[in-house]
């Protein structure tokens, strides 16, 4: 059967800039949940474990992704967590009922161990404080423990625990999803706003160099969204540097064209939060702009039914272990486009999570580590999407789906890396049947030629990877090429692509 073609056009120009991309837009997340920590990053009995118990095979894949920042220790778990349980001699650390996920937390990994792991992984830590069961006092003490050089109770306690130098953690989340009725110690917007303001004030007195993330809505589906942002930011605006966004995308209806359009939902969410931040800025006559930390995002729905059957009070049972499909990877590629298109305001983002729990990296206890389908768009965008995000002018045919109208078949983001003299076009073809031929005018990039066209494609939208079989992986046999000042992009049906050009 001959290939069917659909045509699209775009213009990319050096002067059409969105913003410099903050590398932290490619962050991730490790929560004390399921096998993310125990059996994920930390498994002392594993043949690949180093002297601290960290799995080196897992570390290698994290380094491959070039993850710049990792949020820790939660998540819902942080809202009943006592940080003191996770420091000091391991034999003295208590086992606790972990209420968010109804497991037993043995506290063998805590603040210091995670800081050690982050160093090995070449990443920074985004630390969350407990504003559920605790508040100002615990937060300022933890900050003193991690960041103060010495000569005080908590900084000297850190030194006594074997860490002479402070960890200097610079990014802090003021609680997690405090609007959620599932959250231990959940709050109304007024209650949270007051507590977060007072906590932020105390923390910035301890260390004025830190950046703080005010807790936004748990998802754009929350009945209190976006009033929650308006009310809480009215309180926290003076001390907060970012507001958080969380959203997970599902395909329970098994409707692929509708699912692939869900990045439009993310786009709308981001725009609404920006408008709300800027309304509070205007209301306060402020010169300060609050930016966005999209610190939980991913596809999550495959494992939900299994998790409901889990026996409570186990140590590190398998939880939220979504096995990702090819179509999930295509959407993840589009979600990354969306973050880049908003990189003027989205400065940090965290794919949730990193290992085993709704994650690009999976492990077997005592066994292998492998890459899920979603690993690939995350890897290529993180590694090659550094520099300046450009704003392409796109002219694409569109389709309608169950929840979305005017969905462009071509979804794209473009990055110019001046240092490397490299232009990178990331592109998704949402068309289920047709190859997309894209004529892209790159006239301001004279003499640039295609050096690589990576394609992620598969005839089966439901294809998955396992420990023993990689069914979904990219190839670099893409057919895009330049002719004069035109890049002819050839995007196979239902595919995610990266086209790199150099002078």
Kindly list the distances between the CA atom of residue 492 and the CA atoms of 8, 397, 430, 482, 497, in Å, as whole numbers in the listed order.
13, 15, 10, 17, 9
Q: Tell me if 295 sits within 8 A of 214, measured CB to CB.
A: no
DSSP H or E segment with residue 192:
helix 189-206
Dihedral of the alpha carbons of 107, 301, 367, 318, in degrees to the nearest 10 = 40
Beta-bridged to residue 57, according to DSSP, are none
Rg (the chain; Cα; Å):
23
CB-CB contact of 172 with 348 (8 Å): no
Q: Which residue has the tokens 């308006």?
A: 230
In whole angstroms, give the CA distance from residue 392 to residue 389. 9
84 is catalytic: no
Instruction: Please state at what angle helix 136-147 crosses helix 153-160, rounded to 10 degrees.
Output: 50
Is position 296 annotated as part of the catalytic site? yes
Output the 3-class SS for 262-291. Answer: CHHHHHHHHHHHHHHHHHHHHHCCCCCCCE
CA 238 to chain centre: 26
164-173 burial, b for 16+ CB within 10 Å, e for fewer? eebbebebbb
Q: Which of 98, 265, 296, 422 is catalytic?
A: 296
Burial 325-337 (b: 16+ CB within 10 A, else e): bbbbbbbbbbbbb
Contact 372, 325 (CB under 8 A): no
Catalytic member of 31, 84, 113, 177:
177
| Burial annotation 90-126 (CB, 10 A radius, 16+ → b, else e) | eeebeebebbbbebebbbbbbbbbbbbbbeebebbbb
Residue 438: strand, helix, or coil: strand
Q: Which of 410, 409, 259, 382 is nearest to 324 (CA)?
A: 259
Which residues face 350 on adjacent strands?
27
Sequence-ordered alpha helix ranges (H) in 314-432: 326-341, 375-384
Other CB atoms within 10 Å distance of the CB of residue 370? 18
Which residues belong to the active site?
Answer: 177, 296
């Amino acid at each position: 059967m001959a290939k069917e073609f659909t045509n699209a056009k775009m213009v990319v120009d050096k002067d059409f800039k969105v913003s410099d991309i903050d590398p932290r837009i490619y962050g991730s997340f490790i929560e004390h949940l399921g096998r993310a920590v125990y059996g994920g990053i930390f498994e002392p009995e594993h043949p690949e474990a180093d002297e601290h118990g960290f799995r080196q095979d897992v570390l290698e894949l994290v380094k491959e992704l070039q993850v710049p920042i990792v949020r820790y220790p939660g998540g819902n778990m942080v809202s009943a967590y006592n940080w003191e349980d996770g420091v000091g001699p391991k034999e003295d650390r208590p086992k606790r009922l972990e209420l968010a996920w109804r497991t037993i937390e043995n506290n063998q990994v805590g603040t210091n161990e995670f800081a050690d792991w982050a160093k090995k992984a070449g990443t920074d830590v985004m630390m969350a404080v407990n504003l559920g069961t605790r508040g100002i006092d615990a937060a300022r003490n933890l900050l003193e423990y991690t960041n103060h050089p010495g000569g005080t109770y908590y900084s000297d306690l850190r030194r006594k625990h074997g860490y002479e130098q402070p960890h200097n953690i610079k990014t802090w989340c003021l609680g997690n999803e405090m609007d959620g009725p599932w959250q231990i110690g959940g709050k109304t917007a007024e209650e949270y706003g007051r507590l977060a303001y007072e906590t932020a004030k105390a923390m910035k007195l301890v260390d004025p160099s830190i950046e703080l993330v005010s807790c936004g809505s748990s998802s754009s589906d929350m009945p209190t969204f976006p009033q929650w942002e308006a009310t809480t930011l009215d309180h926290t605006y003076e001390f907060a540097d970012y507001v958080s966004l969380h959203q997970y995308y599902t395909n329970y209806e098994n409707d692929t064209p509708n699912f692939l359009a869900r990045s439009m939902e993310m786009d709308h969410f981001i725009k609404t939060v920006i408008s709300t931040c800027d309304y509070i800025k205007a209301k306060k006559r402020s010169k300060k702009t609050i930016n966005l930390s999209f610190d939980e995002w991913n596809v999550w729905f495959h494992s939900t039914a299994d998790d409901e059957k889990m026996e409570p009070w186990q140590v590190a049972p398998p939880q939220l272990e979504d096995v990702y499909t090819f179509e999930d990877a295509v959407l993840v590629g589009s979600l990354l486009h969306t973050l880049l298109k908003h990189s003027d305001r989205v400065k940090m983002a965290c794919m949730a999570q990193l290992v085993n729990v709704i994650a690009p990296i999976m492990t077997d206890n005592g066994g292998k580590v492998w890459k899920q389908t979603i690993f690939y768009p995350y890897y290529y965008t993180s590694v090659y999407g550094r520099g300046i995000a450009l704003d392409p002018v796109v002219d694409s045919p569109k389709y309608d789906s169950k929840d979305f109208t005017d969905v462009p078949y071509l979804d794209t983001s473009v990055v110019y890396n001046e240092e490397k003299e490299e232009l990178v076009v990331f592109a998704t073809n949402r068309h289920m049947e047709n190859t997309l031929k894209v004529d892209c005018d790159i006239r301001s990039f004279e003499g640039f030629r295609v050096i690589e066209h990576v394609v992620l494609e598969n005839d089966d939208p439901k294809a998955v990877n396992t420990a023993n079989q990689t069914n979904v992986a990219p190839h670099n046999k893409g057919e895009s090429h330049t002719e004069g000042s035109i890049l002819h992009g050839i995007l196979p049906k239902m595919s995610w692509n990266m086209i790199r050009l150099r002078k």
